[in-house]
Structure 1
Amino acid sequence: MEQVLATVLCAERCHLGEGPTYDPRTDTAWWFDIREGLLFEAVIGTGEVRRHALGRMASALGRIDAHSQLIVAEDGLYIRTVADGTLSLYLPLEADNPATRSNDSRVHPSGTFWIGTMGRKAERGLGAIYALHRGEIVRLFPNITIPNAICFSPDGATGYFADTDDNVLYRVGLDPQTGLPRGAPEVLLRHSGVGGLDGAVVDAEGRIWNARWGSGCVDVYSPQGEHLRCISVPASQASCPAFVGEGLSRLLVTSAWQDMDAAARAADPGHGQTFLLDVGARGRAEPDVLLSI
């Protein structure tokens, strides 16, 4: 396992840290503690961190413009005003199903937002992946247990996603103009051994950076599924990466202490913290989410 310089961005321990994203225009990273209903905001250049109580479980966001964000929450999509944190419901999503919540999500280069849902107890096949496209929600892939690793090639022609329960990473051809599938998903790789495929992001060269839950690392894969690197993370339950900072050259990685007893937490000093890793790579800026044509 490769060791790189790792620093703690936020020492607060997330029950289930997830959904990091970064706005280079303000040098601000955002991520969530899903279980505790918290949104974190950090200025990378200064290290200043703020936390915002959302009043509901939420897992991801997309930037709409300089003043507003789209929050993916347990019962739907909310527009959040950055200045004061006000939330207003944009569209419900599985709001009539109390057994599910949102999970991994990411914005396609076209502005279409892919959104994952799952059972609150990870019930098999209860989740799905949807697309918010031009103001409408379309179900893309049903019967998923734990949707993760949603990310896209730099040209928008390929989408990736995983079902952590099966430890399979899929790829699917997309229309780059819409972010919608052109065919059926195919298996890119099957992970075997310790840990599970969790959140992922694609760098400027098209490589897939995947946090491996339960193994304290981020794996790097080629677009063909070749394993290129395995980078140590100072927490066993690494959950999701995002490129941040000047030149998008550092990797923010969230983590969690979910399902860890006192002994496991004591043996894992970094549990739930959020880290910055100097990985010697360059990311891409996340696109804004497009709410209408």
Structure 2
Amino acid sequence: MNETIVSVFSDHVCQLGEGPSYDPATDTLFWFDIVNGQLLEKRLSGGATSVHELGQMASAIAIIDEQRQLIAAETGLFVRDVATGKLTLHTPIEPDNAVTRSNDSRVHPCGAFWVGTMGKGEEKGAGSIYWFFKGELRQLYSGITVSNSICFSQDGTIAHYTDTSTGLLMRVGCDPATGLPVGEPKVFVDHRSAKGYIDGSVFDRDGILWNACWGGSVIEAYGPDGKLVRSIAMPVTQPSCPAFVGRNADRLAVTSAWSGKSEKQRLLDLQGGMTFLLDIPVNGRFEPRVLIA
């Protein structure tokens, strides 16, 4: 096994770093500081971290085409003009609910977007998971406290998600043509007796699910049977979400956060909120483009 090398990719400190997504066309990683309403970007080849002020909380980004991105934000899905940064509301999601915001979201191989919401103060059961495809929006699951870990198999037949507050990572069949769930969800990983909480995940070509364990200081990899196959130590307490990066999608970028920590706790977690690069061999894949119409 190759030695794992964890390095700082961006030393920009996010209060709640989340939602990393890599664009192979520009060799750029995008991610968010959710509570401060910032979109961040940096090329893998180096350079400065660019910070874009969004004016509202936002948590996830998907590519529409070379000129446009789709952002899951506090009040809905917004089209972002890459050249100007201008945001245009495309589809409202809970726009009249001041309690909630967007959270973990990911694109299904067919181009559908699963978008999670949650209470800004983690209000119990305030969130949901939605399905968005070609302009249509449907609620899939409700009563969710912290939506997380949305990811899909390469062939689109399996979806995963969690309500982090339950400690249970769920698996459900999925229609590869539409990205809609098929059948009832079943428990894939029971994390209730383990340290930390299930946060963001990605699913590689080999059927390995890579999860950021919030509060556990690790990235955990689960095999197709739900068994833990690898645990990678992180230099922060609260890793939040991984993304496949690089020309061959063969490495992992991981966001993190200092949110919820006291000043004393932050002194013990000095890199909390930075974004990291894991030089480990992974058989990753790029995010599909989202179909908005």
Fold match, TM over 0.5?
yes
Q: Which moved more, 1:191-200 or 1:45-54?
A: 45-54
1:235 aligned partner, one-letter code? V
CA distance in 2, matches of 1:61, 1:40: 11
CA contact (8 A) 2:21 2:287 kept: yes
| Contact 1:4 1:232 (C-alpha < 8 Å) held by counterparts | no
Instruction: List structure 1 runs of 4+ shifted beyond 6 angstroms.
Output: none
Q: For structure 1, which runs of at least 5 residues remain unmatched after alignment?
A: none
Aligned partners of 1:282, 1:7: CA distance in 2, in Å?
Answer: 20
**What's the counterpart of residue 274 of structure 1?**
275
1:243 has 2:244 as partner: yes
Paired residue secondary structure (1:241): strand
Gap change, CA 1:59 and 1:247, over 3 Å in 2? same
Count matched residues.
291
What secondary structure does 1:248 align onto? coil
- Correspondence for 1:290: 291
Single out whichever of 103-112 and 224-233 deviates more from structure 2: 224-233
Sequence identity percentage: 49
Q: Is the 8 A contact 1:3 1:231 kept in 2?
A: no
8 Å contact kept, 2:159–2:171:
yes
Question: Secondary structure at 1:184's aligned position in 2?
Answer: strand
Alignment map for 1:130-141 (pairs within 5 Å): 130-141=130-141
> What does 1:187-206 align with in structure 2 at a 5 Å threshold?
187-191=187-191, 192-206=193-207
Alignment deviations for residues 180-215 of structure 1 (CA, whole Å, 9 cap, x no partner):
011111111110221000000011212100000001
Listed as ranges, the matches of 1:98-109 within 5 Å are 98-109=98-109
Alignment of 1:1-293 (within 5 A): 4-191=4-191, 192-292=193-293
Structure 1 residue 245: Cα displacement: 1.1
Residue 274 of structure 1, CA deviation: 0.3
SS class of match (1:246): coil
Q: Is the 8 A contact 2:44 2:246 kept in 1?
A: yes
State the Cα distance separating 1:263 from its structure 2 match: 0.9
What TM-score do you get using the length of structure 2 for normalisation? 0.97
Give secondary structure in 2 for the equivalent of 1:60: strand
TM-score normalized by the length of structure 1: 0.97
Letter of the 2:249 partner, please give it.
Answer: L
Give the AA of the match of 2:210: W
Alignment root-mean-square deviation, CA: 1.1
CA contact (8 A) 1:3 1:232 kept: no
